[in-house]
Amino acid sequence: MSEGFDMTHDEGRTVLVTGGGIGIGRAACEAFAARGCHVVVTDVLEAEGRAVVQAITEQGGSAEFAALDVRSTMQADALVADVVARRGGIDVIVANAGIAHKVPLDRLSDEKWDETHDIDLKGMLRVIRPAVPAMKTRGQGTIICLSSIMGVAYGWDEHVAYSAAKAGVVGLVRGLATELARDGIRVNGVAPGYIRTAQLLSAENSLGPDAAAMASPYIPMGRLGEPAEIAGVIAFLASSAASYLTGQVLTVDGGLLVGRY
C-alpha cells in the first residue's frame, strides 16, 4: 500500500469542528476521535458540546470543548490562536456551524438575510482565515466545509437565504482550494441531502417529524441519511486517502439528485 493511503498517518491530528454539539457536527467529532485524533468541539450550545466531549473521553478518545459563536471574529481569532499555541497547529477544520430558517420572501428582512450568511458562510471564513498561516508554515492542512444539496442543485422554497449561503460555500471551497493548494492545504466540501437531524425534523423550519415518510419515496436508496454517514465522508476527505483531492464538493444524498435529474 502506498504511503499516501496509510490511514495511520491520520492519527494524532488536531481537528476543530464548528457546530460540533449536535447532528452532523457531533457525528464528525465522534468519527475523528474514533480515528485517534484530538477533537476541539466548538458550539454556541455549551451543554451539548460538553456532552460530546464527555462521550468521546468515556470511549477513550481525546477531546475538549470551546464555546464559539462563529459570528464573532474576535472569538474565532482568539480560539484558533489558543489551539495553535497549545497544539502547534490545527490539522483539520470542519466548518459545519449553520442555521436554516423558513422565511417567505415578503418577510425576509435584511437582518435575517445577514444573520444566515453571517453564520452559514462568513462564519466559515472567520475560523479558516486565522488557522491558515500555521497550516502554511507546516506545509499541510485540510479544510472541509458543509454545503447542502440546496446549495448545489435545489432551490428550497422559503429558504432563499439558506440556499444562497450554501451555494456560496461552493464558491468558498473552490476559491480557497485554488489559492492554498501550493501551500499543501486541501479544501473540499460536502453537500448532504436529507439527513436525520434536528434541523430536518423541525416542523417550523424544515420537513418536520414526518420527514422520512415525505422524502424517502424520492430517494433511490429509500431512506433518510444518518449523521454518521456524512461524518464518514468528512473523515475520508480529511484523510491521507484523499491526498490528491481538492476543490470538490461531494453530494451525499442516497442518489436523490441523480434519481430525479
Q: Can you give the pLDDT at residue 3?
A: 39
Side chain identity at residue 181, one-letter code: A
- Those residues with Cβ within 8 angstroms of residue 30's Cβ, 6 or more apart along the chain or in another chain: 52, 55, 56, 228, 231
Per the CB < 8 A criterion, the answer to whether 26 and 43 are in contact is no
- For residue 3 the three cell numbers come to 504511503
Q: Can you give the pLDDT at residue 9?
A: 66
Q: Residue 183 to residues 10, 43, 84, 92, 160: CA-CA distances in angstroms?
A: 19, 29, 18, 15, 35
Strand-pairing partners, residue 141, are: 185
Which pTM was predicted?
Answer: 0.93
Q: Can you give the pLDDT at residue 200?
A: 60
Q: What is the CATH class of 3-194+228-252?
A: alpha beta
Q: Can you give the pLDDT at residue 157?
A: 86
Q: Can you give the pLDDT at residue 217?
A: 83
Query: What's the pLDDT tens digit per position in 100-127?
Result: 999 999 999 999 999 999 999 999 999 9
Query: What's the pLDDT tens digit per position in 23-60?
Result: 999 999 999 999 999 999 999 999 999 999 999 999 99
Average pLDDT over residues 128-134: 98
Question: What are the catalytic residues?
Answer: 162
Query: What's the pLDDT tens digit per position in 135-153?
Result: 999 999 999 999 999 999 9
The pairing of strands 62-67 and 92-95 is unpaired
Query: What backbone phi and psi angles, to 5 degrees, belong to 61?
Result: -90, 180
Q: Can you give the pLDDT at residue 218?
A: 83
Among the listed residues 112, 207, 200, the one whose alpha carbon sits nearest the alpha carbon of residue 161: 112
Query: What's the pLDDT tens digit per position in 230-248?
Result: 999 999 999 999 999 999 9
Average pLDDT over residues 85-101: 96
Residue 70: pLDDT band with limits 50, 70, 90:
very high
Among the listed residues 113, 179, 102, 97, the one whose alpha carbon sits nearest the alpha carbon of residue 146: 97
- For residue 201 the three cell numbers come to 425534523
